[in-house]
Amino acid sequence: MKSKSEQYQKAVELRRNGWSYKEIQKNVKVAKSTLSYWLKDIPLSDDHRKRLYTKKISILTYGSQSQRERRKREIDDIKKAARKDVTLPLSKQTYRLLGAALYWAEGSKGRGFEITNSDPQLILFMVKWLENIFGIQPSTLKASLNMYDQQKESDIKKFWSELTNIPLDNFGKSYIKPPNKGYKKNTLYYGTIKIRVPKSVDLTYCVLGWIEKSMKDINSDVTKTQKKWNHLKNKKRPVNL
């Protein structure tokens, strides 16, 4: 154990080198109040003050106690608790309606069964859903990509083909977005894929029928409100010149 005098001398030396109290405490095992008493008259240079200020801001921004980190832990806890509400495997009814709801949100309506998205989990779920619910094999599905010009089309196709088991020969012409100088906040690394079931108009109406039945309890309210506001449909559509 170092003597009190030795600890004091070490603390003073480190402070004169611009160390913070927390940094000093890792080398001199005394209470912070003791350090404050010992070092209250030790001045810091402007460079040392600048370093300590920058480090403090960095800790507040990125440290374990930062708002971002706290919120991340809160979200992790929320998800962990929520996962306990779901029992696997899903029942056939739940599975059927989960796929129908995703199609309702992300799929085309009335032109055959098509669904477009950039999320690999959602796309793979829908491919497997089509196979499990309707017996439609991935090898019969058609696909096309929407991507940026700086992306390599062949690699993006291989990614989606490997994920979904849709043959590369089943991919149609890709849409390549023209160059844009604007800043893109979200980068779609895999582009966006549209999967299509050939000759599937009746399948689409089947899925929409499941949705209509699921919404039976609110359909009358929707119809009533739409009827009241039917005049909104009478507005002329703008003409693009």
Q: Out of 26-40, 66-80, 198-212, give the one with best mean pLDDT.
A: 198-212
The whole-number average pLDDT for the span 184-211 is: 88
Q: Are 2 and 10 in contact (CB under 8 A)?
A: yes
Give the pLDDT confidence of 134-152 residue by residue, as tens digits.
999 999 999 999 988 888 8
Q: What is the reported pLDDT for 2?
A: 65
Reported pTM: 0.69
Q: What is the reported pLDDT for 43?
A: 86
- Rounded CA-CA distance 10/4 in Å is 10
pLDDT band for position 4 (50/70/90)?
Answer: confident
Q: What is the reported pLDDT for 150?
A: 82
So what CATH class is 92-179+187-217?
alpha beta
* Structural domain boundaries in the chain: 92-179+187-217
Mean pLDDT of the chain: 88
pLDDT at 54 over 90: no
Q: Which residue has the higher pLDDT, 221 or 240?
A: 221
The whole-number average pLDDT for the span 73-96 is: 94
**99 closest CA partner among 75, 133, 67:** 133
Residue environment code for 6-30, b if the CB has 16+ CB neighbours within 10 A, otherwise e: ebbeebbebbeeebbeeebbeebeb
